[in-house]
């Protein structure tokens, strides 16, 4: 009935002159409007299928029954076939190692990657490579987790919607036609620092093809002007080192090697008491300052004048107008020490110093005869973009003015990292075609027209240079998990218009480059096997340049002098009593998550930051007395106002922070990082300005009355009079090598005979002098042992799972501590283990080689072992932390040699028992015993300074035994009778006694 | 308040006592106050005691208390289900404080149980006849407290379903529990204790179950009589029965008495064996036993004071009992106070950095308030029990008993949490706070305990009638009555009420 009426309506409307329509379908010509629109058409209620109702129900029933059946089977839905031809070398259970590199800030970190049946599971350093020598940074370790990050971008996107690589290629081909006409005007490229020779060649070719195009490199970690030379240090030749607000141990491209070199001159042993001396004049506390024998706490604005004062004493400048008395004393003493070690002394200028001070420091090094000895100045390793390439402001101006029609951003996130005074996000909206290549659909990718998922370094062919210029090849260990592309592949589309595989691009480049080699094929294979091209380290040719000032970018024209230093003169010297009227803002890359590129990496987020021990957050770091003056304490939220920008941040009081300075770490407050990084911390980029990338004076601070919970793993900074991390100056060690045992209780006699170890007897020694607290071991342990990440809330409750922690203690005053001690603590494998005898079910026992082993299957989780462990190194799965039921890519990351633990089970360091087993099997196959150094624990392997040594204590010649016979070798809490198998070599420092006796005559002398 | 008294009371010979008030003048010293009010007869004892479970309607207070207990029991069950589903992470435990409420509650509940065993076994062996009217109740409390306590170590591990590993059973792994661990000793101590307490309590209950059965038969409540009869194990009250009964009861008393000392000593060793400052202390075993009896008596008082008034049992649980219990509390409170003093002294005397810091941290650290609650409740408040006026003032005494319960729980909190939160390495110091689920579990077990106590009161004779009658016999009868009672050892069947001179061992036997 109703159907007919409606049909009549339509007919009547059709009949009349005025035509009404109810939808676009009806309006469309040709469509059978009445049939398409009318849901009540004739026969609509009939079952119009060859499948009858009865048959349908039969099938439904059968399929339901079969569904139940198939639910019992856990096999894959597709037919599986075992290998017919077993791939060569791939043996299940036997890992393979491939040499490749992890690019960090564009610089190669040479690594060996362990692969189990095609899955990369662990990253180690490349022992042959000069930049690694077997060690890595914490970030390189964590790069593995990024590969398996389930939040990675998985598909090409066009205006937010899912697109294909083919569509992208076609779109770029269309663009190319336009650029060909205009010479590429309006084409802009943004990349991070480029050290890859292949990429550099591709960029050069692109710029050659389209001469009007421009390439910009805005590095958030080094936002200064381009430099024409950069220093490379040889700390292994330096007896005296002065660092000026420089963090050399972590965060730098060469940090792994620098840390090794710095410490190589500090291995104090019995009869080997020569030791380098490190001075650090710095603002916010760094690990370099913690390692230093003498640390001078300065506000950032005082660093330059201090350098000037040192220079003046060395005859390389004038004495500065204003400097605090303490800094003056320091300058005099340090300058004397530097001068006395001419040729073996070096001054290091931090990245955050303005170029003028770099020039001054270079003059200082020249005056010290350091150039060519302890430092080389050479052309930068990163390829410098032509013109004003580092000037992001110029680019934003162009974008705002509409002169940019295509912006290609390769592996960068400028929407997030652009300074607060550059409206980058807004300007991005004015660019017609924006292309973003990124691992995540991050802040920039989200706003871009095209987003291409970036392949991870372990999925791509590429190359990069290490800090010293050595060309390091990057080879994939696994096919891209998603539709990821490398920067080479994207650039190839722009330059050639056709997609080319990364392998062809990289290999092709080197084939052209090494055209004179006849044996290229075998050479290429050898190089890949080794991981790098030997002999490609940058030359130090520029070091002889006498015109030191000419090499520093924009300051090239005028030599440094008083005029240049004026902005820093006239500052009130900081005295201990007067609180500065305004505060000084210090911005720094975060020690774990960098400038934000690692924000979604759970391993790094949960790694306690070296000095603050915070996890999952950044904070406004202030000194204890500034906190008192401001009336704030930890976790109070303050409002930071800097040049009109405000940010709310929680306060964390940090020992050694200069008075009146607030340090904020960049990299947090990400809006689109992923489930780990989004929303963690606050965004300090909002306080960053183009002309003040590292902060400056004029910060206002206001209490808000709010609080914000922070998760720190260690809130104590003192040892409470306990003799835990022992230390002494070198003079005391020479006088009494047994100083570490003074006041120690004698080991009490026992009626029971000790256990006789007739095979191996494993043990470990840790040199506290060598430990820099860089966290590489912490992350390596996490990666090796399948340790779960538990998240901020659980860390706050004290349930972090990391087996290895670095205890940090200060000596001296809280506001200006004399010494910082790092003590890596993990299971000590006590011979007389308190945990073992309290376990009611024998779940933790001693094995025949001295290891305190944990039997997960037997553990019922009474947790008594943890209560009775004086070192508190046991970790408990309070909840099901390892989500092993999760059906996503993150399950692939697990090391198959290590059990994944279930909830309710205790776990702890095993001395990497799986590695011991592996070595034992290899040794047995060859009918021999395990050689010294054959078992390398995960923490030991990555340590840049070789602070951790593991081995057989039954082998008299083993390295671990040598260390254990050192006079300053001691057991932590040995007085409890635990007889720990891990022992420590007390920290030896080399302070300058002159700094404690110097008189205030210095300024007069100087003037 | 029972304005309406149990119906069978009207048959009782002695004058009706004024409700809510003790029968005697509370001026006299405790030692001379009778342990059974004058005027009690065999019949009145049976009437009063069986009257409670046999009354048709329980007072509203019973219902209210049981409802609270039942609801909290449901909270407990909810918590247990959630705990098993999620893991112990729902609690506040962490590293370093890996033990929390579960262990605190365990020690507390076990301690509470000790009063029952102490009263029934120790005092039985010491022939303290005043125990008679409270021993059944105290034993029941022991049992329920052990039930609550036993749950704690079973649910506190990370994998409770593996708890059978704790028992030495033959297995394919060829593995026994680790006998060096005090937690294994605990398993034996607590399971023995639970078993002995149950048997002791049940054996003592047999004659009274028979008496209740007989009363039910008289009242023509057949089904219930059958149920009680089942549990009375065919008790007929023959001399042989009594002989066997007395022998078994004494043996069980002898077995239970050492448990008063051993169980809590072993619970103390749970801590002492560890090397942790604050746990590693030789004083723990005696100090834990005293603490257990201390808190146990406090709990008996907490429950008895309202219940005796509610059911009009002042004639049987007299002020003498109350006063004596208060005195036991005072003595044990002093021992516990001495324990605190010794811990402090030893910390100083040991010259051990860690011990000294532990003590300073207890007193002035982040958990200082717990320490001062402990001192306040267990040492300061207890001193009020020196005064007879306090001991005889039911309201004040009840408050003191509650405070002692709070103090003893806090003491266990102090021992477990404060010691663990700051041990050897300052770098791994932490803090602890109970979560919602910690509290819900604790309150849940309180409710479970309460529900069990009120179910016990509702269904079982809460005072040992057999022993009460014996007591009445011994203290309240004239010489000729005594003589008649002694000669008429096995009178013909019939209700004791019609034979006021019957033997105390006599039972209302019916031909069945």
Cβ–Cβ below 8 Å for A876 and B92: no
- How many CB atoms are located within 10 Å of the residue A339 CB? 16
Q: Which residues of A touch B364 (CB under 8 A)?
A: none
A906: closest CA of chain B, how far (Å)? 9
B6-30 average pLDDT score: 42
Please say whether the beta carbons of A704 and A931 come within 8 A: no
Query: Scanning the structure block, which residue is given the tokens 């007879």?
Result: B388
Give the model's pLDDT for residue B402: 95
- Write the residue in B159, B423, B428 that is nearest to A861 by C-beta: B159
Please say whether the beta carbons of B386 and B323 come within 8 A: no
Q: Is the pLDDT of residue B477 over 60?
A: no
Q: Which residues 6+ apart lie within 8 Å of B400 measured at CB?
A: B298, B326, B381, B382, B384, B385, B390
Cβ–Cβ below 8 Å for B89 and A871: no
Q: Which residues of B touch A778 (CB under 8 A)?
A: none
Cβ–Cβ below 8 Å for B424 and A722: yes
Provide the token pair at B310: 């509610």
Give the model's pLDDT for residue A355: 83
Q: Is the pLDDT of residue B84 over 50?
A: yes
Q: Which residues of B touch A839 (CB under 8 A)?
A: 178, 181
Q: Which residues numbered 21-80 in B keep a CB inside 8 Å of some CB on A?
A: none
**What is the average pLDDT value for chain B, to the nearest integer?**
82
Q: Collect the ranges in chain A with pLDDT lower than 70.
A: 1-52, 63-84, 223-227, 388-390, 540-581, 885-887, 997-1007
Task: Tell me how far apart the terminal alpha carbons of chain B are, to the nearest angstrom.
Answer: 37
Give the model's pLDDT for residue A553: 38
B345 class by beta-carbon count within 10 Å (0-12 exposed, 13-18 middle, 19+ buried): exposed
Q: Is the pLDDT of residue B480 over 60?
A: no
Q: Is the pLDDT of residue B257 over 60?
A: yes
Give the model's pLDDT for residue B253: 86
3-state SS, residue A113: strand
Give the model's pLDDT for residue A551: 39
Cβ–Cβ below 8 Å for A797 and B175: no
B40 class by beta-carbon count within 10 Å (0-12 exposed, 13-18 middle, 19+ buried): buried
Q: Which residues numbered 800-859 in A keep a CB inside 8 Å of some CB on B?
A: 805, 807-809, 823, 825, 834, 837-842, 858-859
Q: Which residues of B touch A719 (CB under 8 A)?
A: 426
Q: Number of A to B CB contacts under 8 A, please give it.
A: 166
Please say whether the beta carbons of A325 and A651 come within 8 A: no
CA distances from A95 to A113, A532, A835 (A): 10, 21, 33
CA-nearest residue of chain A to B153?
A862
Provide the token pair at B346: 């030893």
* Cα A744 off chain centre by: 40
Nearest alpha-carbon partner for A987 in A962, A965, A970: A970
A727: closest CA of chain B, how far (Å)? 16
B489-509 pLDDT, tens digit per residue, is 444 333 433 344 444 454 444
Nearest alpha-carbon partner for A936 in A911, A961, A901, A905: A911
| Interface confidence: ipTM more than 0.90 | no
Q: Which residues numbered 226-265 in B keep a CB inside 8 Å of some CB on A?
A: none
B165-202 pLDDT, tens digit per residue, is 999 998 888 889 999 999 999 999 999 999 988 998 89
B376 class by beta-carbon count within 10 Å (0-12 exposed, 13-18 middle, 19+ buried): middle
CA-nearest residue of chain A to B424?
A870
Whether residue A784 lies within 8 A of chain B, CB to CB, comes out as no
Whether residue B82 lies within 8 A of chain A, CB to CB, comes out as no
Tell me the backbone φ, ψ of residue A701, rounded to 5 degrees.
Answer: -135, 140
Give the model's pLDDT for residue A865: 94
Give the model's pLDDT for residue A358: 86
- Write the residue in A825, A872, A902 that is nearest to B96 by C-beta: A872
Q: Is the pLDDT of residue B510 over 50?
A: no
Best residue in A867, A876, A908, A984 for a mutation probing chain B (most B CBs within 10 Å) = A867
Cβ–Cβ below 8 Å for B428 and A834: no
Nearest alpha-carbon partner for B57 in B136, B10, B3: B3
- Write the residue in B157, B274, B426 that is nearest to A861 by C-beta: B157
Cβ–Cβ below 8 Å for B428 and A870: no
Whether residue A876 lies within 8 A of chain B, CB to CB, comes out as yes
B270-280 average pLDDT score: 92
Q: Which residues numbered 660-719 in A keep a CB inside 8 Å of some CB on B?
A: 714-716, 718-719
CA separation for the pair A395, A387 (Å, rounded) = 12
- How many CB atoms are located within 10 Å of the residue A478 CB? 17
B442-476 pLDDT, tens digit per residue, is 999 999 999 999 899 888 888 888 777 777 777 66
Cβ–Cβ below 8 Å for A841 and B178: yes
Whether residue B430 lies within 8 A of chain A, CB to CB, comes out as yes
Nearest alpha-carbon partner for A982 in A945, A939, A943: A939
3-state SS, residue B8: helix
SS3 sequence of A572-615: CCCCCCCCCCCEEEEEEEECCCECCCCCCCHHHHHCCCCCCCEE
Cβ–Cβ below 8 Å for B426 and A719: yes
The H or E element that residue B243 is part of is helix B239-272
- Write the residue in B157, B181, B182 that is nearest to A904 by C-beta: B157
B354: closest CA of chain A, how far (Å)? 8
Give the model's pLDDT for residue A945: 93
CA separation for the pair A165, A175 (Å, rounded) = 15
- The packing angle between helices A502-513 and A520-530, to 10°, is 120
Cβ–Cβ below 8 Å for B181 and A840: yes
CA separation for the pair A192, A414 (Å, rounded) = 10
Please say whether the beta carbons of B470 and B16 come within 8 A: no
pLDDT-above-90 percentage for chain B: 46
B120-140 average pLDDT score: 78
Cβ–Cβ below 8 Å for A868 and B274: yes
CA-nearest residue of chain B to A809?
B427
Q: Which residues of A touch B353 (CB under 8 A)?
A: 720-722
CA separation for the pair A309, B429 (Å, rounded) = 44
B22/B323: higher pLDDT: B323
Nearest alpha-carbon partner for A708 in A605, A638, A646: A638
């Amino acid at each position: 009935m109703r159907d007919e009426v409606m049909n009549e309506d339509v007919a009547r409307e059709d009949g009349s002159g005025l035509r009404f329509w109810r939808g676009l379908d009806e309006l469309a010509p040709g469509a059978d409007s009445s049939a398409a629109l009318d849901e009540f058409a004739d026969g609509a209620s009939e079952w119009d299928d060859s499948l009858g109702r009865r048959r349908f129900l039969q099938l439904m029933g059968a399929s339901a029954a079969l569904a139940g059946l198939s639910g019992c089977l856990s096999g894959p839905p597709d037919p599986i076939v075992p290998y017919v031809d077993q791939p060569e070398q791939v043996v299940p259970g036997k890992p393979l190692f491939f040499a490749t590199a992890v690019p960090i800030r564009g610089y190669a970190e040479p690594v060996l990657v362990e692969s189990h049946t095609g899955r990369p599971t662990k990253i180690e350093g490349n022992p042959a490579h000069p930049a690694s020598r077997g060690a890595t940074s914490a970030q390189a370790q964590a790069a593995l987790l990024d590969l398996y990050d389930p939040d990675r971008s998985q598909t090409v996107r066009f205006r937010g919607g899912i697109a294909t690589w083919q569509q992208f290629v076609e779109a770029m081909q269309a663009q190319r036609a336009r650029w060909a006409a205009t010479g590429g005007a309006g084409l802009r490229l943004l990349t991070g620092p480029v050290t890859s020779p292949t990429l550099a060649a591709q960029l050069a070719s692109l710029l050659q093809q389209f001469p009007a195009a421009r390439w910009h490199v805005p590095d958030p970690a080094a936002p200064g002007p381009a430099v024409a030379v950069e220093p490379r240090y040889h700390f292994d030749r330096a007896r005296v080192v002065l660092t000026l607000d420089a963090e050399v141990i972590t965060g730098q491209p060469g940090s792994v090697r620098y840390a090794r070199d710095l410490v190589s001159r500090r291995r104090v042993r019995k009869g080997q008491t020569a030791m380098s001396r490190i001075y650090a004049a710095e603002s916010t506390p760094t690990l370099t300052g913690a390692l230093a024998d003498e640390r001078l706490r300065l506000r950032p604005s005082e660093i330059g004048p201090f350098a000037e004062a040192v220079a003046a004493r060395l005859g390389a400048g004038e004495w500065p107008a204003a400097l605090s008395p303490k800094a003056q004393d320091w300058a005099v003493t340090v300058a004397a020490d530097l001068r006395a070690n001419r040729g073996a002394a070096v001054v290091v200028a931090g990245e955050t110093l303005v170029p003028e001070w770099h020039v001054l420091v270079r003059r200082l090094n020249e005056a010290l005869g350091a150039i060519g000895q302890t430092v080389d100045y050479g052309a930068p390793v990163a390829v410098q973009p032509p013109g004003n390439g580092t000037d992001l402001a110029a680019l934003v101006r162009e974008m705002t003015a509409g002169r940019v029609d295509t912006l290609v951003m390769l592996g960068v996130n400028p929407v997030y990292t652009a300074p607060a005074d550059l409206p980058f996000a807004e300007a991005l909206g004015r660019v017609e075609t924006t292309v973003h290549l990124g691992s995540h659909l991050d802040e920039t990718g989200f706003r871009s027209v095209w987003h291409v998922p970036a392949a991870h370094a372990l999925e791509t062919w590429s190359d990069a240079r290490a800090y010293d210029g050595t060309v390091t090849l990057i080879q994939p260990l696994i096919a891209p998990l998603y539709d990821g592309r490398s920067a080479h592949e994207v650039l190839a589309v722009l330059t050639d218009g056709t997609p080319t595989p990364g392998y062809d691009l990289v290999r092709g480049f080197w084939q052209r480059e090494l055209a004179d080699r006849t044996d290229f094929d075998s050479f290429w294979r050898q190089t890949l096997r080794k991981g790098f091209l030997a002999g490609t380290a940058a030359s130090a040719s520029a070091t002889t340049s006498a015109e030191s000032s000419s090499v520093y970018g924009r300051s090239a024209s005028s030599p440094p002098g008083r005029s240049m230093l004026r902005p820093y003169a006239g500052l009130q010297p900081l005295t201990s009593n007067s609180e500065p009227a305004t505060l000084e803002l210090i911005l720094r890359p975060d020690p774990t998550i960098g400038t934000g590129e690692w924000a979604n990496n759970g391993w790094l987020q949960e790694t306690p930051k070296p000095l603050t021990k915070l996890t999952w957050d950044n904070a406004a770091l202030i000194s204890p007395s500034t906190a008192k003056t401001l009336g704030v304490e930890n976790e109070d939220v303050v409002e930071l106002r800097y040049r009109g920008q405000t940010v709310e941040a929680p306060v964390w009081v940090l020992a050694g922070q200069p008075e009146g300075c607030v340090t904020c770490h960049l990299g947090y407050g990400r809006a689109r990082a992923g489930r780990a990084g989004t929303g963690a911390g606050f965004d300090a980029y909002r306080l960053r300005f183009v002309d003040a990338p590292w902060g400056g004076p004029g910060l206002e601070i206001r209490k808000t009355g709010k609080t914000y919970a922070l998760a720190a793993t260690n809130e104590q900074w003192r040892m409470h009079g306990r003799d835990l991390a022992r230390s002494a100056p070198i003079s005391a060690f020479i006088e009494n090598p047994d100083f570490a045992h003074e006041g120690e209780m004698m080991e009490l006699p026992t009626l029971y005979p000790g256990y006789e170890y007739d095979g191996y007897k494993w043990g470990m020694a840790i040199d506290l002098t060598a430990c820099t607290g860089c966290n590489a071991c912490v992350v390596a342990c996490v990666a090796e042992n399948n340790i779960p990440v538990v998240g901020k809330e659980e860390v706050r409750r004290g349930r972090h799972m990391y087996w290895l922690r670095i205890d940090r203690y200060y000596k001296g005053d809280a506001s200006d501590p004399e010494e910082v001690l790092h003590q890596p603590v993990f299971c000590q494998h006590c011979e007389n283990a308190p945990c073992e005898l309290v376990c009611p079910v024998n779940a933790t026992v001693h094995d025949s080689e001295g290891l305190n082993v944990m039997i997960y299957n037997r553990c019922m989780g009474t947790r008594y072992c943890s209560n009775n462990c004086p070192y508190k190194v046991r970790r408990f799965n309070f909840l099901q932390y390892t989500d092993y039921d999760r059906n996503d890519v993150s399950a692939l990351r697990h090391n198959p040699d290590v059990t994944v633990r279930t909830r309710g089970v205790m776990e702890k360091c095993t001395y990497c028992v799986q590695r011991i087993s592996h070595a034992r099997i290899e040794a047995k196959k060859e009918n021999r015993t395990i050689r010294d150094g054959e078992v390398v624990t995960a923490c030991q392997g990555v340590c840049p300074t070789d602070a951790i040594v593991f081995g057989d204590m039954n082998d008299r010649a083993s390295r671990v035994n040598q260390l254990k016979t050192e006079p300053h070798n001691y057991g932590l809490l040995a007085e409890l009778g635990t007889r720990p198998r891990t022992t420590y070599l007390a920290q030896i420092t080399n302070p300058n006694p002159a700094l404690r006796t110097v008189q205030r005559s210095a300024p007069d002398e100087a003037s | 308040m029972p304005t309406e008294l149990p119906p069978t009371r009207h048959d009782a010979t002695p004058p009706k006592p004024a409700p809510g008030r003790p029968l005697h003048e509370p001026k006299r010293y405790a030692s001379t106050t009778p342990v059974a009010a004058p005027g009690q007869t065999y019949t009145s004892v049976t009437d009063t005691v069986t009257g409670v479970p046999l009354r048709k309607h329980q007072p509203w207070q019973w219902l209210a208390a049981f409802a609270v207990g039942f609801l909290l029991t449901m909270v407990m069950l909810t918590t247990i289900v959630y705990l098993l589903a999620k893991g112990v992470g729902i609690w506040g435990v962490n590293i370093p404080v890996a033990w929390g409420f579960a262990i605190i509650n365990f020690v507390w509940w076990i301690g509470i149980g000790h009063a029952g065993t102490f009263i029934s076994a120790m005092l039985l062996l010491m022939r303290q006849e005043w125990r008679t009217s409270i021993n059944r109740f105290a034993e029941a409390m022991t049992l329920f407290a052990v039930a609550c306590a036993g749950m704690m170590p079973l649910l506190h591990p990370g994998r409770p379903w593996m708890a059978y590993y704790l028992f030495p059973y033959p297995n394919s792994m060829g593995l026994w529990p680790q006998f060096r661990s005090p937690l294994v000793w605990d398993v034996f101590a607590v399971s023995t204790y639970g078993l002995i307490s149950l048997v002791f309590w049940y054996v003592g209950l047999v004659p009274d179950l028979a008496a209740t059965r007989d009363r039910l038969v008289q009242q023509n409540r057949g089904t219930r009589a059958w149920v009680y009869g089942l549990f009375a194990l065919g008790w007929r009250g023959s001399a042989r029965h009594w002989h066997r009964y007395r022998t078994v009861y004494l043996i069980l008393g002898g077995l239970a008495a050492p448990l008063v000392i051993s169980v809590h000593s072993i619970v103390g060793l749970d801590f002492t064996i560890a090397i942790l400052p604050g746990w590693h202390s030789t004083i723990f075993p005696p100090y834990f036993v005293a603490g257990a009896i201390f808190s146990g008596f406090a709990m008996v008082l907490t429950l008895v004071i309202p219940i005796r008034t509610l059911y009009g049992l002042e004639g049987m649980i007299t002020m003498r009992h109350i006063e004596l219990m208060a005195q036991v509390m005072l003595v044990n409170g002093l021992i516990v106070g001495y324990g605190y003093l010794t811990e402090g002294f030893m910390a100083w005397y040991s010259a051990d950095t860690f011990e000294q810091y532990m003590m300073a941290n207890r007193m002035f650290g982040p958990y200082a308030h717990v320490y001062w609650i402990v001192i306040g409740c267990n040492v300061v408040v207890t001193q009020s029990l020196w005064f007879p006026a306090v001991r005889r003032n039911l309201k004040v005494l009840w408050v003191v008993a509650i405070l002692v319960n709070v103090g003893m729980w806090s003491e266990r909190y102090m021992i477990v949490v404060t010691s663990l939160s700051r041990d050897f390495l300052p770098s791994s110091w932490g803090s602890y706070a109970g979560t919602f689920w910690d509290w819900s579990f604790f309150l849940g077990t309180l409710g479970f305990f309460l529900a069990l106590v009120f179910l016990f009161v509702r269904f079982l004779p809460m005072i040992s009638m057999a022993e009460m009658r014996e007591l009445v016999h011994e203290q309240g009868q004239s010489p000729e009555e005594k003589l008649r009672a002694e000669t008429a050892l096995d009178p013909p069947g019939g209700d004791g009420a019609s034979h006021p001179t019957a033997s105390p061992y006599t039972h209302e036997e019916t031909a069945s």
